Amino acid sequence: MTDTQTQPATILVLNSGSSSLKFGLFKADHEDAAVGAHESAQEDEALLLEGSAEGIGRAEGSLKVKSADGTVLLQKDHLLESQTEALQKLAAVLAEHGHTRPAAVGHRVVHGGPHLREHRLLTPEVRQQLKEAVHFAPLHIPPALALIEQAMKIFGDAQHYACFDTAFHRTMPPVASQLALPRRYAEAGVIHYGFHGLSYESLVRQLGKDLPARAVFAHLGNGSSVCALRDGRSVDTSMGLTPTGGIPMATRSGNLDPGVLLYMMRTEHLGADRLETLLNRESGLAGFTDGEGDMQVLEKRSAAGDQAAELAIDAFATGVRKYVGAYAALLGGIDLLVFAGGIGEHSAEVRRRVCAGLEFMGLRADDPTGKVRVLHTEEEQQIARHCRALMRQAQAR
């Protein structure tokens, strides 16, 4: 037996936010695959450790790393100057606890523009394509590129892969993906992309043979979207060209009449950068409540009689419910509604409000028939799966 067989190559997954960094370290789980070569498809990624750096750049920042069994390996509450510092501390934890350096690093990339719609090795050419696609997601692509550059310095001996949130939605038909604009815009990549694809992929995998032909998935968190699936493939989704579209989110506006933007430009003389900040950081639930976008806080405030918080929650749940209804019409009915994401998984109140009025379709928040389910999304594990598959494809060439 070779060293590679005794010590399977590990994959480090990095999932970055504006002021946070989630990570997980995975190895191939050979328990099921060992039965026979014909059953290798049963192999999956086993978690070795996971954690997150929160509040990066703020005094109340923290770093927590724990093993798969929940044992805390590191927990510090202090200022983390940058994601680079968080990565360096993570590398030290891996070495301290006897983990070999990862053979691959998987990066979640929210948007790759029109030419990057498949998960792939981060070659210099791919990194250049990402730089050229910055105008499609100026709030997301630059931080992703910065983290990739940092990780390549710290884990320079590893293969680095980009896994795109838009990839899952390539199956949308033209009637869903094309926008009602002159054709030259579509040719330039101005289309309906869709996001949260890695989350939706993981839910499809979890459900397996239990996934019916007509399903709607609602990934609800700080960023939220709804997806219509036929036979496990995306046919429509609420987010559009960027992750700003769809339902109102924590700080994002969701869909707006384009006339609203024209009004702001004409009356307040707002440029593109100011509009970007307003729509992505000052709107949504935070817009209703003068700055509060946290659903847990809003639920407490609503229970105490805060009308602004009540309106924000109602607008959020109603927005989700409207998409569920629209997708029921698109699919010809719904056999399964799945809630995932931080809000979808943990807020029974939001699930109750979304399902209120959908009883005529057999959708009830407390559903004994299993037509409404709550699942934990596995984005990091899904990224590890893609990276392992890409590594094997490269070895087979």
Which residues are identified as catalytic? 165
Give the residue among 86, 143, 151 at the shortest CA–CA distance from 110. Answer: 143
Distances (CA, A) of 90 to 75, 299, 317, 392: 11, 35, 38, 26
Give the residue among 387, 295, 380, 382 at the shortest CA–CA distance from 25. Answer: 380
Q: Which amino acid is at 143?
A: P
Give the residue among 62, 24, 29 at the shortest CA–CA distance from 44. Answer: 29
- 58-61: list long-range contacts, CB under 8 Å, 24+ apart: 58/19
Query: DSSP letter at 232?
Result: T
Q: How many CB atoms lie within 10 A of CB 149?
A: 12
Give the residue among 81, 92, 110, 9 at the shortest CA–CA distance from 51. Answer: 92
Do residues 298 and 309 make contact, with C-beta atoms less than 8 angstroms apart?
yes
Do residues 111 and 93 make contact, with C-beta atoms less than 8 angstroms apart?
no
Do residues 280 and 213 make contact, with C-beta atoms less than 8 angstroms apart?
no
Distances (CA, A) of 314 to 219, 237, 251, 310, 344: 17, 21, 15, 6, 15
Provide the CA 76 distance to its chain's centre, in angstroms. Answer: 26
Count the alpha carbons within 13 Å of 253 in the hemisphere toward its beta carbon. 15
> CA-based angle 263:266:272, to the nearest 5?
90
- Determine how β-strand 44-54 pairs with β-strand 21-29: antiparallel
DSSP annotation string for 145-188? HHHHHHHHHHTTTSEEEEEETTGGGGG--HHHH--SS-HHHHHT
